Structure 1
Amino acid sequence: MRKNRLLRIPSRGLVLISLVSLVLGFILAYSYSISSVNKEQVTNSVSLNEQEKYKKELIEQKERNKELSEEINGKQQEIKEFEQSFANSEESVEELVEEAEKLRLLIGDIPSQGKGIAVSLQDGAYNPSQENPNDYIVHESHVFKVINELKISGAEAISINGQRLHTNSYISCTGPVITVDGKTFPAPFKIEAVGDPEVLLASVKLGGGVVDQLTSDNIIVTVEEKGKISMPALRDDKN
């Protein structure tokens, strides 16, 4: 009976096997390392791409927000300009309406009523045997001084002895009477004006003004404030 012999590997073979195993292990380790590095690089590459993508989208969104903001500011400016234009138009219309109203009052096309003042002019006392009577009589120039001063002071309507004046009224004085647009009225001559009493009074009573000038011409002048003065439209008065 043969005894089994143990398989003996020569020492040189062991060395070769060990060397192969070492190289194989190195290769496996290196491959794993390379694989890990590649995987990390791929992951990092994907991450960078995503960051670049988000960064780009963020920049685009900011640009869009800027454009929208500028567009909103532009629209707001347009609205502001439109509102201002509309406000100016309303003011212009109101001014035109007020101006038309004033013109209608001045030409006597509509009735006038309100506070105002009354200025009465009367011939001064004189001695016919010693002085010139014309120096004490109310003349057209005296009446026109009062009327012009009242107009300058903002009177919206003026009348003489109840006869309302218009822009082309004809006035003349003859002795103790006055003729206004063909109608004759006796003295004293009462001139009434609708307007702000304080302004009208201050105007005629101003130092060196109308009252002082008429007084120096020997005319008796009486000025009073009126709480209510009514003047009909000229067409109504004609009827």
Structure 2
Amino acid sequence: MKNKYVLIILMSIVSGAFIGISLKDNKVNNNEYISKIKLLRKETKEINKNIKKLEKEKENLEDELDELKDKFADEKSINKIDNLKQRLSYTDIKGKGIVIKIDALSEDVGNIANLIDYNKILVNIVNEIKINGGEFISINDQRLNQYSEIVLAGSHININSVPIVQPYEIKVIGDLKKLNKYIEKDSHYIKSIEDNYPMKVEFKVDENISMKKMNVPNKLDCIKGD
């Protein structure tokens, strides 16, 4: 009988120990869960903070992109206007090209303005140059554009209503490769001038040609962007 009581007491002690261990494990597990929840909340808060920061950066980048688009559009318009001004001889210009010089064969020939005008020699050369790489042209420092006139006025040639005299120096800025090919191989007309008229023609390549803008008003008073 005594042994029975001892056995019951031992079983109670063992059961109590197991219950204590179980409660302790549950407490440990609860603490782990609480720590994990706190960590998750902290991480979630940090993620939300980063998301807001990224959204703000995205807005700033979109604003910068819009500004760049506007700036690009403005620069494109400005470049277009500047290019038009160059074509109309409103601006000074420098570049590579060729120089063609036409003069009387000798002093005995005298004034060749009548021959130049009657045979449209300058006009023909200018037209040939334009289709052979010439972009900007001047004759005796008078810039040419689509409104320019080359006409005889008395005993001399007028360009842009400005009188010029021989020798006639034609400066051309443009595609140097095409221009050089033109004067070396393709210009039968230039070569025919010396054969048919008492004139001499000289030409050279010049990699540093300067042209001043027109000194007289164009028929376009101003150029405005859209």
Shorter-chain TM-score: which interval? 0.5 to 0.7
Does residue 28 (structure 1) correspond to residue 3 (structure 2)? The answer is no
**In the alignment, does 2:87 pair up with 1:106?**
yes
Distance 1:51 1:73 in 2: 32
Structure 2 unaligned regions, length at least 5:
107-114, 195-199, 219-226
Residues 172 and 154 (structure 1), Cα distance of their counterparts in 2 relative to 1, 3 Å cut: same
Render the CA deviation track for 1:116-162: whole Å, top value 9, x for unaligned.
5532235789xxxxxxx89987252223223x258x5443xx32223
- Structure 2 match to 1:222: 202
CA RMSD between the two structures? 4.3
| Larger deviation, residues 97-106 vs 64-73 | 64-73
Please show how residues 121-140 of structure 1 align to structure 2 within 5 Å: 121-122=102-103, 138=121, 140=123
Determine if contact 2:183/2:203 at 8 Å carries over to the other structure: no
Q: TM-score, normalised by structure 2?
A: 0.61
Alignment-derived partner of residue 161 in structure 1:
140
Identity across matched positions, percent: 14
Seen in structure 2, the aligned counterparts of structure 1 residues 222 and 120 have a Cα distance that, compared at 3 Å, is: same
Distance apart, 1:38 and its partner CA? 1.0
For these two proteins, the number of residue pairs brought into alignment is 202
Please identify the structure whose Cα radius of gyration is greater.
Answer: 1
- Give CA deviations for 1:196-231 in whole Å, capped at 9, x if unaligned: xxx554332215778623334335432242756352
* Unpaired segments ≥5 residues, structure 1: 1-18, 126-132
**Are 2:126 and 1:143 aligned?**
yes
Match of 1:213 in 2: 188
Distance in 1 (CA, whole Å) between partners of 2:123 and 2:105 is: 15
One-letter amino acid of the counterpart of residue 180, structure 2: K
2:22 alignment counterpart: 41
Q: 1:143 to 1:228 in 2, by over 3 A?
A: closer
